[in-house]
Structure 1
Amino acid sequence: MLLLAFPSLGTAMLLLRWITVAVAAVLVSAANTNVAIKAAVDSVDSKMRHAGPTILTLMANQSLSDTTLGRVMTDIGTTWRIAGTTLRATAVSDGSTTTHPTNDDIGTIYGDALLLLSTSLSGIKATGKVPGFPAQVRTLDPIVANATRQLNVTLPNSLVLPSILMRDARQFFLAEGFNQTLASLGF
């Protein structure tokens, strides 16, 4: 169809090249915005460091239910949603391998947050005490996947390290139904 609108293949290719350059210009990095990116990533890591033990306590106290876990899942979802929004509002970073926080610092922290999320929720389905768990996961999964994709846009190639860290722990996301999150990590 594109060829019909232009007198020659060269004209069509020139237009495609122009569009490519225009799109790339939108994604050009502003500077090293890793400090702002790390703040968003720290928020989800911190949330998971509190939510994980809360979930384990609910399980240990035999008080795990749709209601008790639902409150925790809502809180987790809110934190990941805010992180995704914050990352979207942050300029694309040039990143750094030497200035702290480095790209690897951010990747390690994000990978830790994902590991904590996956292992904290591991086994909940098997307890049978939270029949609404699949629905809770269907709500949380796209939120986490969105934040994950946005991190990779704001800090290009930032998911390499978290993907490596998740190679073993991905089994927990798979068992619990976090399909969109796994896809956003390249699994």
Structure 2
Amino acid sequence: MKKLVICRHAKSSWEDPRLNDRVRPLSKRGLNDAPMMANRMQTNHVFPEKILSSKALRAKMTAEFYLATFEKMNVEYEESEALYMASAQEHLVEIKKTSNKIDTLFIFGHNPGMTELINYLGEPLENLPTAAYMGFKFEVNSWENINATNARFWMYDFPKNPSPKTS
């Protein structure tokens, strides 16, 4: 079984409008939400074996809070330029490159591609909020074989959620 957790970066700062989009850091809210969401994940006993992040600063900063939360687990970490503003299909291309020794992958990126990916996998969602995540399980042995027909909703959580939804 393969498990995929799709994580949108936490709220970014627009304090300096001159900054290139790729180097925008997290806002104060984002700096609070990212570790809170990582801790919720840990509390629910959901652990990554690998974290794959967009190279944009706000995505990397969000992923780093998860790495810190799970630091004792020797989580594999990789950054991919291809995840910056990727479409659902571009996300799938990157996900399918994951080694089959990895069973649980967390991917950090941006909208609209993250929401498109969630909808492609069969869970209707208008917008994946900042710092939110949605997970899917796939009854397959290879990342190459994941698709919309074998995706099964697993969990959904977001910062303002009083009761996370799991299957």
Shorter-chain TM-score range = under 0.3
Greater relative contact order (Cα < 8 A, sep 6+): 2
TM-score, with structure 2 as normaliser: 0.25
Structure possessing the higher radius of gyration over alpha carbons? 1
**Higher strand proportion (structure 1 or 2):** 2
TM-score, with structure 1 as normaliser: 0.23
**Higher helix proportion (structure 1 or 2):** 1
